[in-house]
Chain A
Amino acid sequence: MRGSEGPALAFENVAKSYGGTRAVQGVSVQIEPGQFVALVGASGSGKSTLLKTVNRLVEPSAGRVLFEGEDVAGLPLAALRRRIGYVFQSIGLFPHMTVAENIGIGPRLAGQKIGTSRVSELLELVELDAEMARRMPEALSGGQRQRVGVARALAGDPHLLLMDEPFGALDPVTRDSLGERVRGLHQEFGLTTVMVTHDMAEALLLADRVLVMDEGQIVADEHPQALVAGGGGEIAQALVAVPRHQAERLAELSR
């Protein structure tokens, strides 16, 4: 399945400035095929900007991004984006299209039509009823909408799944179950997944590698176990402290 033997994704000295502000400052990191990577940081740390350089929603001011060995700057924009599954923070379903049309939009742009059985299959993957296919997005709950968003991202059989705060707008229960489901799909399809989140607990529980960003730079690159064990430095530990503290208080309550 993989296009090359090397890393699925490589950032080489990627930087991005907006006017005077430097959102991303010379990031270099490689992501191996099949990894589930969480990009964690406070708002304004540059994590979303870095993610968007992959499918060129943001063009870097310097450096380059390699996707399966190819510089993304040299790839045709539309084709590149269709090869990458993308789940948006704002969900971004097209309000004038049915659920089935939303799911099929990527293949449709590539000139293919996906059939009802494929739509049903994708809906099933995200634990939605096949009947939903004919509904309009406005008739769905927030959680159902983001499930459709995930199904849309998977419709083009991507190797790479990018998620920009995918569960930020969802209630905790939905968030938890959809997170588990995405982790399952990642495994099932052998995806490489990069998820941006500000929630360290989510990152620790879902990812197998956590990159912590601060002021446009990666300040920690650890396995979840290492972070929980106290690694990764000060900034990373400040983020880990929040869920740890919550867990301790919950443990006290149950005594």
Chain B
Amino acid sequence: MNGLWGALMGLGDQLAAHVLLSAAAIALGIMVALPLAIWASRSDKVARISLAFASLVQTIPALALLALFFPILLSLRSVFGEGLPTLGFLPALLALALYALLPILRNAVTAQANLDPGVVEAAHGVGMGFRQRLWLVEAPLSAPYIMAGIRTAAVWTIGAATLATTIGQKSLGDPIFAGLQTQNWALVLAGCIASAGLALLADTILGTIERGFRDRRRSLWLGGLVAVALGLGAALFAQFGGEDEDAVVIGAKGFSEQYILARLIGQRLEEEGFAVEYRDGLGSAVAHSAAASGEVDIYVDYTGTIWANQMQREDNLPRQKMYEQIAEWETANTGMHLLGRLGFENAYGLAVSRERARTYGLASIEDLARVAPQLTIGGDPEFFERPEWIAVREAYGLRFAERRNFSPTFMYNALRSGEADVIGAYTSDGRIEADNLTILDDPRGAFPNYDAVLLLSPSAGRNQGIIAALEPLIGAIDVGAMREANYSVDREDNKLSFEEAARQLAERAGL
């Protein structure tokens, strides 16, 4: 319980960001929905089309909607210029505002349609023009219904905003995703409690405003509005009051090693006097583009990943050659600076339990290919889509009985419980030793190298202070140290926080 309390207390920053993101999305939703509703009340066609569109948007899973805005904004850069952010606040805002549209629009349209026709006729008859009818009659009579729609939208938006974490926007999803990653349930619970609590609070305040409109009690709706304003003011202050605009942004993909290394980098920079911020839980492709565009300054990537995904190479080169070609390619194509290798490899490997290895006589992937049709393979959602897996599958002719997706954390549980026989594992994962797993050999060299490398955005790559602070990390972390650090946050008991794990790792690496 202490862990939960501590986790909750540490969420101030995420809470403020969450409040601002949700409020901005709802405000944008209102700004689009209300004029649309007024238009719809004067044209059946507009009503039908706009409601159909809003309903269609609702059917897209929120996570997919958020992710879709990355390519959309990227393509819009040709119109708005390279400064258009493709990650973080803007795409989250747009996706959530689209999501907030439906309940507001539907309630506003229904409210207009249900206005007493006698009252509408009277408004005409006493000589009201379009605007007077809108402001003196239609708006006040529709207000309670519209408010009810806004209330629904607020609850949905606050819930869905937790997913903004995946596109690099700080939110209450940060602890949920980080906790899910490391089976740190206190973190997950803290994130859930905070976002649910926020949703309930918003619902209560907006409900008060709604009641104030309905019963025509000025004190109620005015009080509610003041409460909303105060909440937003506090969030704004917490978020921007004294914030350092020049903070170095460190990115991390959504797994433990990345979280720890991001903290390790951050701690070194802080010692040198830099202000730092973290963007956690980024997808692999998202992290690379974020650094190329300068929204993230520094992150750790892996040579094989860049080789196959960004450079679209299918061949396989020796370690040093591959590294040099990647460095050249990044300089030429993205302007990013490859600072160096950290000293360990986090390769993809196919892992089986030692027991299974013995039963089936498995030592290499060639052995596995013989028995694969009887086995189930598990992997994280990215794994089966990656060119490396496809290369390995083709190289060895692997055909499995079944294929299942797990989040990286649950993959190991699945192996233990027998829900998967083979998993696509990471070689620096602490659980390989802890769980007595065997990584199968790759005699045909189908998996490329995955040396961990420090990537700096074009501007960070020109910053001598940053480079000086990070150079000691190059070659300093061996795979044993990394496995231990990973295990210290992944194990079931006595988990360390990412910050603690990063500090221990620094100590062990002699930094």
Q: Do A and B come from one complex?
A: yes
B117–A95 CB distance below 8 A: no
Chain B residues positioned under 8 Å from A91 (CB to CB) = 118, 122
Binds B, one of A81-89, A181-189, A205-213, A220-228: A81-89
B124–A57 CB distance below 8 A: yes
| Contact of A106 with B by CB under 8 A | yes
B141–A86 CB distance below 8 A: no
Encoded as 1 (CB less than 8 Å from any B CB) or 0, chain A from 23 to 62 comes to 0000000000000000000000000000000010100000
| Contact of B121 with A by CB under 8 A | yes
Chain B residues positioned under 8 Å from A55 (CB to CB) = 125
| Contact of A247 with B by CB under 8 A | no
CB distance from B143 to the nearest CB of A (A): 9
Most chain B CB inside 10 Å of its own CB: which residue of A93, A95, A136: A95
| Contact of B247 with A by CB under 8 A | no
Report the separation of the CA atoms of residues A78 and B160 in the bound assembly, to the nearest whole angstrom: 47
Main secondary structure of the interface of A (DSSP, over half): loop
Within 8 A of A (CB), among B113-155: 116-119, 121-129, 132, 136-137, 140-141
Of all chain A residues, the one with the shortest Cβ separation from B141 is A96
CB distance from B180 to the nearest CB of A (A): 49
B117: contacting residue among A81, A90, A96, CB under 8 A: A90
B119–A81 CB distance below 8 A: no
A94–B125 CB distance below 8 A: no
**CB within 8 Å for A95 and B127 given contacts A90-B121, A90-B122:** no
A92: contacting residue among B122, B132, B141, B216, CB under 8 A: B122
Most chain A CB inside 10 Å of its own CB: which residue of B119, B122, B124, B128: B122
B125–A57 CB distance below 8 A: yes
A81–B122 CB distance below 8 A: no
A88–B122 CB distance below 8 A: yes
B126–A81 CB distance below 8 A: yes
A86: contacting residue among B117, B118, B126, B128, CB under 8 A: B126
Chain B residues positioned under 8 Å from A88 (CB to CB) = 118, 121-122, 125
CB distance from A109 to the nearest CB of B (A): 6
Report the separation of the CA atoms of residues A57 and B136 in the bound assembly, to the nearest whole angstrom: 19
Within 8 A of B (CB), among A81-117: 81-82, 86, 88-96, 105-106, 109-110
Chain B residues positioned under 8 Å from A239 (CB to CB) = none
B121–A80 CB distance below 8 A: no
A152–B126 CB distance below 8 A: yes
A96: contacting residue among B121, B125, B129, B140, CB under 8 A: B140
Interface size class, chain A:
20 to 34
Report the separation of the CA atoms of residues A91 and B127 in the bound assembly, to the nearest whole angstrom: 16
B127: contacting residue among A80, A89, A96, CB under 8 A: A80
A109–B141 CB distance below 8 A: no
Of all chain A residues, the one with the shortest Cβ separation from B118 is A90
Of all chain B residues, the one with the shortest Cβ separation from A101 is B136
B132: contacting residue among A86, A90, A109, A136, CB under 8 A: A109
Main secondary structure of the interface of B (DSSP, over half): helix
| Contact of A235 with B by CB under 8 A | no
B141–A95 CB distance below 8 A: yes
Of all chain B residues, the one with the shortest Cβ separation from A56 is B124
Compute the total of residue contacts between A and B using a CB distance below 8 Å: 61
B128: contacting residue among A90, A93, A109, A136, CB under 8 A: A109
Chain A residues positioned under 8 Å from B141 (CB to CB) = 95-96
Report the separation of the CA atoms of residues A230 and B507 in the bound assembly, to the nearest whole angstrom: 116
A109–B121 CB distance below 8 A: no
B137–A94 CB distance below 8 A: yes
B122–A94 CB distance below 8 A: yes
B216: contacting residue among A86, A89, A90, A96, CB under 8 A: A96
Of all chain A residues, the one with the shortest Cβ separation from B139 is A96
Chain A residues positioned under 8 Å from B122 (CB to CB) = 88, 90-94
Chain B residues positioned under 8 Å from A242 (CB to CB) = none
| Contact of A139 with B by CB under 8 A | no
Chain B residues positioned under 8 Å from A93 (CB to CB) = 119, 122
Of all chain A residues, the one with the shortest Cβ separation from B128 is A109
Of all chain B residues, the one with the shortest Cβ separation from A79 is B127
Chain A residues positioned under 8 Å from B137 (CB to CB) = 94
Report the separation of the CA atoms of residues A102 and B117 in the bound assembly, to the nearest whole angstrom: 17
| Contact of A140 with B by CB under 8 A | no
Report the separation of the CA atoms of residues A105 and B140 in the bound assembly, to the nearest whole angstrom: 15
A106–B126 CB distance below 8 A: yes
Chain B residues positioned under 8 Å from A82 (CB to CB) = 126-127
Of all chain B residues, the one with the shortest Cβ separation from A90 is B118
A78–B128 CB distance below 8 A: yes
Report the separation of the CA atoms of residues A158 and B367 in the bound assembly, to the nearest whole angstrom: 100
Chain B residues positioned under 8 Å from A78 (CB to CB) = 127-129
Report the separation of the CA atoms of residues A110 and B127 in the bound assembly, to the nearest whole angstrom: 9
Report the separation of the CA atoms of residues A92 and B122 in the bound assembly, to the nearest whole angstrom: 5
B119–A86 CB distance below 8 A: no
Of all chain A residues, the one with the shortest Cβ separation from B216 is A96
Report the separation of the CA atoms of residues A92 and B124 in the bound assembly, to the nearest whole angstrom: 11
Report the separation of the CA atoms of residues A103 and B329 in the bound assembly, to the nearest whole angstrom: 78
Report the separation of the CA atoms of residues A79 and B118 in the bound assembly, to the nearest whole angstrom: 21
**CB within 8 Å for A86 and B129 given contacts A91-B118, A92-B119, A95-B119:** no
Report the separation of the CA atoms of residues A110 and B125 in the bound assembly, to the nearest whole angstrom: 14
Report the separation of the CA atoms of residues A90 and B117 in the bound assembly, to the nearest whole angstrom: 9
CB distance from B119 to the nearest CB of A (A): 6
Report the separation of the CA atoms of residues A55 and B129 in the bound assembly, to the nearest whole angstrom: 14
Report the separation of the CA atoms of residues A105 and B127 in the bound assembly, to the nearest whole angstrom: 9
* Those 5 A-B pairs whose CB atoms lie nearest each other, nearest first: A90-B118, A92-B122, A81-B127, A82-B127, A78-B127
Further pairs besides A78-B127, A90-B118, A94-B137: 6, Cβ < 8 Å = A78-B129, A82-B126, A86-B125, A90-B116, A93-B119, A94-B122
